[in-house]
Structure formats: structure tokens, C-alpha cells
Amino acid sequence: MDSKIIQVNGLVKKYGDLTAVNGISFDVYKGEIFGLLGPNGAGKTTTLEIMETLRDKTSGEVLIDGLSVDKDQNLIKKIIGVQLQAAGYYPNLYLNELLELFAGLYNVDIDPAEILKLVDLNEKTRSKFKELSGGQKQRFSICTTIINNPKVIFLDEPTTGLDPQARRNLWELIRTIREKGTTVMLTTHYMDEAEILCDRVGIIDHGKILTIDTPDNLIDKLLHEGFERKKQIRSASLEDVFLNLTGHELRDE
């Protein structure tokens, strides 16, 4: 199919005797939000970093927009945006200065204020990265991924460690980015997040893909097999209670 923007075929990554990724294959289509789900240590980050050209693979094939990670690393880097699990920014620089830096790194001309506005940080232009809250740091991190107008962005556990308000705010941001035509590939170990945000998900464990489908289809399949929840399903969750009491308003600690 022509609209495949990411093609992964039989990807293997070994660290000595340890096989972190054990022959996984999947495709991501243009314009979708694809989630790679799995417990810690399942091989999500390794897979992502190979796609981001940050890590060498042992074998298999990875194509980003038809470009191979073996040969076209530099071309790939120009059309992708990368958000790493841990932040990597000069702690002493103001946000607008950091954006200037990334504009230089990508050879693009930008208006830092305009980009910061997209991620709701326009009032933080003269703040240093180290002064931001967890949610703000993540939003800033995502904002550095869209500087070069990428075709795909990779987000590695973007909402880990955030409070419910900040998570919802980030979901909104990710949807906005997708609406502008950017494909989003993310990892998470929050199932509610994947269910709400992702068009399709792949579930990965011990370096292998267990299944790939839309969240709805996966749930339907499970129900077809006769699965029943032990606890009575109620039409509200504890998180709904929490948000009802504390509001959806974003907190900046």
C-alpha cells in the first residue's frame, strides 16, 4: 500500500546474549496515531530508537517514508521529529533560545513565539527549561519535534509522570498535530491513553508483537472469546471522580 509511512519488517535487536527486539513487523499509515503498547522492558524504546536512527539494528528492515535507516539516516532525520523519554535540553537556556537552537539544527526559520503558542507555552518564552513543570517540559519537548514540519513524530511515553489534567492537555496537543497531517507514533503503558488517543495499537512484550489492530476491534475480539470483567462496569471511573472534583483546568505546579 502506498500510504504506508513506516514499514518495519522482521526487526531484531540483540545486546550481547539479550534479545531486546525479536523479529517484529508492523506498518504505520500516513496520518494515523499509532501506539506501541507494552510493559516496561518490552522493547518499545529500543524499537522507537531504531526507527529514529539513534540505534543500530541487528537485522531486519525499517523504512521511513520509503527511506532505509541503514542508508538514509540523514534524510530520515530531516523528515522526523523526536521526543525522547528523558528530556535533553540545556537547563540554563530560555525556551525561545532553545527553539532558536533547534531551528539552526534543522536549518529552518521559525518564530519561537508562534511555535510556543501552539503548545500553550507562549507565556513561558523567558523561562528556563529547568523551571518548567513536568507537563510543560513534555509540551516543550513535543514542540521541538514539530519545528521542521516533520512527516512523522515519535513520542516515547509522552505522558508518563503527568497528572490527569496535564495528560488530557497533551492528548489534545497530539490530536492537533495529527490534524495538521503529521503521523504520530507513540509508546505508552497506559491503556486508557491508547484507547482514547490511538487509531491503531500494537501490543509488544518480550520483544515480540502480540497483536495489532484498532482498540475497538481488540476489545470486541476479547469479548467474542467470552471474556468478562470481574468487577461490574460502571459508567464512571475513579479518574472521572477525580477530574470532576479537581476540574479539567491545567495545573502548573
List interacting residues with another protein (CB under 8 A): 52-54, 74-75, 77-78, 80, 82, 84, 86-93, 97-98, 100-107, 144
* Other beta carbons within 10 Å of 120: 16
- Measuring CA to CA, which residue among 177, 174, 4 is closest to residue 188? 174
Alpha-carbon distance 147 to 99, whole Å?
8
Is the CB of 54 or the CB of 243 nearer to another protein? 54
CB nearer to another protein: give 25 or 96. 96
Q: How far is the CB of 2 from another protein (least distance, A)?
A: 20
> Strand 59-64 to strand 67-68: parallel, antiparallel, or no bridges (unpaired)?
antiparallel
| Residue number, 139 or 200, with CB nearest to another protein | 139
Closest CA to 25 of 36, 39, 40: 36
Give the shortest CB-172-to-another protein separation in angstroms: 24
Q: How far is the CB of 209 from another protein (least distance, A)?
A: 24
Nearer to another protein, 92 or 235 (CB): 92
The strand pairing partners of 9, in sequence order, are 61
Q: Are strands 33-37 and 183-188 parallel, antiparallel or unpaired?
A: parallel
Which of 76, 209 has the CB closer to another protein? 76
Residue whose C-alpha is closest to residue 158's, from 85, 82, 243? 85
List Cα–Cα distances, 249 to 84, 135, 169, 172, in angstroms.
Answer: 26, 13, 9, 13
Q: Nearest distance from residue 82's CB to another protein, in Å?
A: 4
**Shortest reach from residue 194's CB to another protein, in Å:** 24
Type of residue found at 187 = T
Q: From the CB of 70, what's the least distance to another protein, in Å? A: 16
Cell of 224: 467474542
Q: Are 150 and 81 in contact (CB under 8 A)?
A: yes
- Give the residue with the Cβ less far from another protein, 19 or 149: 149
Q: Which is nearer to another protein, 48 or 212 (CB)?
A: 48
Residue 77 CB, nearest approach to another protein (Å): 4
Rounded to whole angstroms, how far apart are CA atoms 128 and 114?
A: 18
